[in-house]
Amino acid sequence: MSGRKFFVGGNWKMNGNKDEIKKIVDGLNGAALNDNTDIVVSPPACYLEYTKGLLSPKISTAGQNCYKVAKGAFTGDLSPQMLIDVGADWVIIGHSERRNVFGEGDELIAEKTAFALESGLGVIACIGEKLEERESGKTEEVVFQQTKAIAAKVSNWDKVVLAYEPVWAIGTGKTATPQQAQDVHAQLRKWLKENVSESVANSLRIIYGGSVTGGNCKELAQSGDIDGFLVGGASLKPEFVEIINARG
């Protein structure tokens, strides 16, 4: 065993309303959840406080994004301080939808990661290659570059979880095979050892995201370098409980 605590995040993306959230949370609160897993759900920001109020204290909440300063004239955005104020412990930064739909680049993602950490949030920092990058043999180059940008701005990794989410696997039903995910996670750990430190390489949780389901989670969870999951679609469904408990 790696000694790293299993971590499962549910990224609800832009889904849900109060009725639906109440049903999801009732299901989670009533389920037998593995104590050896850190569990985080990430509702849309406008429902964070509502969700937090319903959830069992065993489950933390995360924002899906935040900006790199505490306050100011940034219409439509929100700060880590605001997320903390409504009960969030974590924030997802650099999700591929932020990168690809909203045009966020490595530099901004690194700045936002550093500021969220300084502000007291844990950060689920997302990286991952596109299909054409994988097919042209550039997977490692891309994920190393994305991690390097973050590493340049982050000095304390204690509250970071790195989420490897290959873009071609997100919402497509095409999961990376356990071997494909394990290979990238192991390469990332090697990169961290050479470029950050051996202790960060050994202790940092690297989780996998991309079409994780109740059906495929157990096999993925057996790989030595997969320390949990970031789950989209299936986190809105009862099978999320199986994913939380995937390590057994």
Binding stretches for ligand 13P (CB under 6 A): 11, 95, 165, 170-171, 209-212, 230-234
User: For residues 196 and 246, which CB has a smaller minimum distance to ligand 13P in the complex?
Assistant: 246
Widest distance between CA atoms in the chain: 48
Strands 160-164 and 90-93: unpaired
Residue 103: which region, alpha, beta or left (left: phi > 0; alpha: psi -120 to 50)?
left
Task: Identify whether 133 is a catalytic site residue.
Answer: no
Backbone φ and ψ for 43, nearest 5 degrees, come out as -80, 170
Identified catalytic residue from 95, 104, 129, 133: 95
**In whole angstroms, how close is the CB of 152 to ligand 13P at the nearest point?**
24
Which is closer to ligand 13P, CB of 119 or CB of 213? 213
Q: Which is nearer to ligand 13P, 16 or 209 (CB)?
A: 209
CB 39 within 8 A of CB 70: no
Which one is catalytic: 97, 104, 133, 165? 165
**Which residue has the CB atom at the shortest distance from ligand 13P?**
232
165 is catalytic: yes
Q: Which of 232, 186, 187, 225 is nearest to 207 (CA)?
A: 225
- CA-based nearest residue to 64, from 80, 50, 75, 52: 80
Q: Is 161 left (phi over 0), alpha (psi -120 to 50) or beta?
A: beta
Q: Which is nearer to ligand 13P, 80 or 210 (CB)?
A: 210
**Cα–Cα distance measured from residue 161 to residue 82, given in angstroms and rounded to the nearest whole number:** 21
CB of 75 to ligand 13P, least distance (A): 25
Return the beta strands (E) in 67-128 as ranges.
90-93, 122-127
Place of tokens 């509250």: 159
At 226, the amino acid letter reads I
Smallest CA-to-CA distance from 2 within 231, 166, 228, 237 is with: 228
Instruction: Considering the complex, state which of residue 43 and residue 209 has its C-beta at the smaller distance from ligand 13P.
Output: 209
Q: Which residues are catalytic?
A: 95, 165
